[in-house]
Amino acid sequence: MNTDIRPDLGIVYAIEVYILSVPFFIAPFIVGRRLLKEAAGPNSLKSLAGWLTLKPLVTTPLWACALGTFYPTNSQVQLEPAYILSILPGVGLSLLAFLLFQSLFFEEHSWPAWVLLGLDCLRWLNSFVMYLIPLWISGGGLGCACIAIGLGLPTVFALVAQVVVTDSQPTAE
């Protein structure tokens, strides 16, 4: 009879990732909140930038739950259809942002909106790649690199969003 009680490693891993990511949300929280306060209207570029900057604060807990539920904890790693669930929070909110702010994507100077959406897609694609890493290698540098990139992307996105919004504003002559 096996009396060795060990926690599910997937859940432990998800909790660790979530706790480690909290300090990386400080800059996105500050920048996103400021962008929303400064927004000229509900359908402005600053509103889009603010919402996309704050998005990881909502999607990371959902992603961490999916990670704890579906992340492989044994040596028999196989690609499962459930892995696609890891990108649903990110993709869903990106699609919602695109639909709500679609006028920004089809105006004459739409490059700032496309840059923000492209960087946002990079964030959730990185999260999805983290699921596939056990299929390619057993641990190692690639997994650590994706985690480091994933933790840094919200802050990088916040800084890029601020620059893009500032650069796209018309200058007073």
Residues 95-112 as b/e (b if ≥16 CB within 10 A, e otherwise) read: eebeeebeebbeeeeeeb
Token couple for 64? 């961490």
- State the pLDDT confidence band at 142, using cuts at 50, 70 and 90: low
- Tell me the whole-structure pTM to 2 decimals: 0.76
Which pLDDT tens digit goes with each residue over 38-83? 988 878 999 999 999 999 888 877 777 776 666 555 555 555 666 6
Nearest to 34 by CA among 171, 166, 162, 167: 162
Length of the chain: 173
Handedness of CA 133, 12, 71, 29 (dihedral sign): negative
CB-side neighbour CA atoms (13 Å) of 88: 11
